[in-house]
Chain A
Amino acid sequence: MGTSDMTNDITRLSASDLASALRDKTLTSVEATQAHLDRIAAVDGDLNAFLHVATQEALATAADVDARRQAGEELHPLAGVPIAVKDVVVTKGLPTTAGSKILEGWVPPYDATLVERIKAAGLPILGKTNMDEFAMGSSTEHSAFGNTKNPWDLDRIPGGSGGGSAAAVAGFEAPLAIGTDTGGSIRQPGAVTGTVGVKPTYGGVSRYGLIAMASSLDQAGPVTRSVLDAALLHELIGGHDPHDSTSIDEPVPGVVAAARQGATGDLKGLRVGVVKELSGEGYQAGVSARFDESLEQLRTLGAEIVEVSCPSFTYALDAYYLIMPAEASSNLAKFDGMRFGLRVEPAEGPVTAERVMGATRGAGFGDEVKRRVILGTYALSAGYYDAYYGSAQKVRTLIQRDFAAAFAKADVLVSPTAPTTAFKFGEKLDDPLAMYLNDVATIPANLAGVPGMSLPNGLSDDGLPVGFQILAPAKADDRMYRVGAALEAALESGWGGPLLNKAPELKTTELAR
């Protein structure tokens, strides 16, 4: 077998299979990490999923884990399995930009809690993944450092904001990645790249060290190629953190056990609620067709399908686009050119702190960030606060009530993750509202704080992947893992393997080493 075939085999393994091979010592972490670094070197020129590749640091971690394993040390089950981290998460010693010029070249002096946990468990960090600037977007077209391409079709978006993490995993550059989800930024990229993405219950994973967009909505979670891999990563990064006052002070739900149980394929007695408002008009025919087929699969596995109505979901997008900019305008106030990042002096006139702030933010923020900060500042300004932010918060109450009523009738709720498959670059760039509609099915979960998962459930008529969304009540993340693993097993047995096997081969650049 040639070197590139070997690389191919290793990079196609799931994280849990990689972990087994490392445990059995049929593979070392240095080999696994090098194979992924080689793959990045070979395909990332086209994909642009990574903003920074941490070659030396990743190999050093891998070598350390191999030595410890050789010495017989007890290691974390995922020790030695490489991972990619979205660039909105701070990493000590590795550049962190959140996709923005205003942070270009900044190297954080501390680690996010979830990064501390990744490092403590011995997962080599391959690098930082591309994203829409400050996580504002659904396509990575708002990144200051170029678009990430969808591995299924390089002319199409990989979703956003976490398009880099999704493309890295779909393109076999990494078996695991970290995403963050404020309105769908883990789940929608998962749907359009044929990968699995999970937004845990709000507070399930610490937000300490995430560069915040909307603090009452942001949540970090796993980006993977299988439901079990997502569960393994979820248990690693989840759990209480005293550095985050909104962190849930309870044990992480048993998501790995739930995924293993689900994979046995028995859903007898489980009630699956189909959300009436998240279907029909605006949903591509192929997306709706795959959704209906998946419902049939769930029925075959023993689940009972019921229809539920959540009338307030109709207002979720409007409420989201008031709350999110309002919170973002406050969170982004810290990018003022004083303590870190870019500093730009005004072209003329006195150089005062206030004028430097204006010049720095004018030069350092991209169009979409300016748009949302100004929208949010307007919504929070004197005389408007109650009518705008206050009213939007009332809609949150209504959405929570809808969820409560729906979960009284069903154990989980389901919908298509996104209304369409991946669109072409530029198609929605000049129409912010059309762009925002991508998130219509994912936003309600963020407003209510409930967990959501997207997993691939087939290809649409255009040959592009479709995502199936599962929502569970707050702190019942394990339920969606059970259902997701059961559906995944049934679908993959029909396809004869993972959906990503149907993705086209990426052009590789021969590398000189």
Chain B
Amino acid sequence: MSTISRDEVARVAALARIDLRTDEVDRLAGELDVIVESIARISEVATADVPATSHPLPLTNVFRDDVPEAPLPVEDVLAGAPQQENGRFAVPQILGEE
């Protein structure tokens, strides 16, 4: 019995913007339990007194001089676009229209 339900997988897949087939939802519902098991083991040692490390080497405020650099040519950038129009990316409708 999985801890993470099919509905939960479908909800997360929607958040991740991945259309899944029914058989994929079924399979992932079984496989995602691994995360629950991992967290159970980790909670043995990840106690409140241990600080979190987000980055392997400590770094603070990495700045560089604010010097303009030449941008990529527009045609190079658009060359890989699925669709382009008037020197811009052409994308499907973003807002709902009635």
Instruction: Report which A residues bind B (CB closer than 8 A).
Output: 106-110, 201-203, 216-217, 242, 245-246, 248, 312, 315, 318-319, 321-322, 329, 333, 336-343, 345-346, 350-359, 361-363, 365, 367, 370-371, 373-375, 377-379, 381, 387-388, 390-398, 400, 432-433, 446-450, 474
Contact = CB atoms under 8 A, between A and B. Distances in A.
A352 B96 CA distance: 8
Given A109-B76, A321-B35, A322-B35, A353 B91 contact: yes
Nearest to A338: B91
A88 B32 CA distance: 26
Given A375-B32, A378-B32, A395 B15 contact: no
B83 interface: yes
A360 B44 CA distance: 40
A391 B79 contact: no
A312 B16 contact: no
Contact of B56 (A202, A343, A390): A202
B62 interface: yes
20 contacts: A109-B73, A109-B80, A110-B72, A333-B17, A336-B17, A339-B80, A340-B81, A358-B17, A370-B18, A371-B31, A375-B32, A375-B35, A391-B42, A391-B46, A397-B52, A398-B50, A433-B34, A446-B56, A447-B56, A448-B56
A396 B52 contact: yes
A242 B63 CA distance: 9
B73 to A, nearest CB: 8
A341 B82 contact: yes
A391 B39 contact: yes
A285 to B, nearest CB: 27
Given A315-B45, A361-B17, A374-B9, A341 B80 contact: yes
A362 B14 CA distance: 11
A393 B20 contact: no
B57 A395 contact: no
Contacts of B89: 338-339
B38 A354 contact: no
B7 to A, nearest CB: 13
A107 B56 contact: no
Q: Lowest 9 A-B CB distances belong to which pairs?
A: A449-B56, A362-B19, A343-B82, A393-B52, A109-B76, A391-B46, A394-B46, A318-B38, A340-B80
Which of A346, A371, A447 has the most chain B CB atoms inside 10 A of its CB? A371
A329 B46 CA distance: 23
Contacts of A357: 17
B28 A216 contact: no
B45 A373 contact: no
Which of B4, B41, B92, B96 has the most chain A CB atoms inside 10 A of its CB? B92
A245 B38 contact: no
Contacts of A377: 12, 15-16
Contacts of A338: 82, 89, 91
A336 to B, nearest CB: 7
A354 B31 CA distance: 26
Given A107-B80, A374-B32, A396 B53 contact: yes
A201 to B, nearest CB: 8
A218 B53 CA distance: 16
B93 A352 contact: yes
A244 to B, nearest CB: 9
A345 B92 CA distance: 9
Contacts of A342: 82
Given A318-B41, A362-B19, A381-B12, A109 B56 contact: no
A374 B81 CA distance: 26
B72 to A, nearest CB: 5
B53 A374 contact: no
Contacts of B96: 352
A77 B35 CA distance: 48
B35 A395 contact: no
A374 B16 contact: yes
Given A110-B72, A381-B12, A395 B42 contact: yes
A378 B39 CA distance: 13
B41 A106 contact: no
Given A315-B42, A397-B50, A388 B35 contact: yes
B39 A109 contact: no
B55 A216 contact: yes
Interface string B1-45: 000100011001111111111001000100110110011011111
Contact of B79 (A109, A351, A352): A109
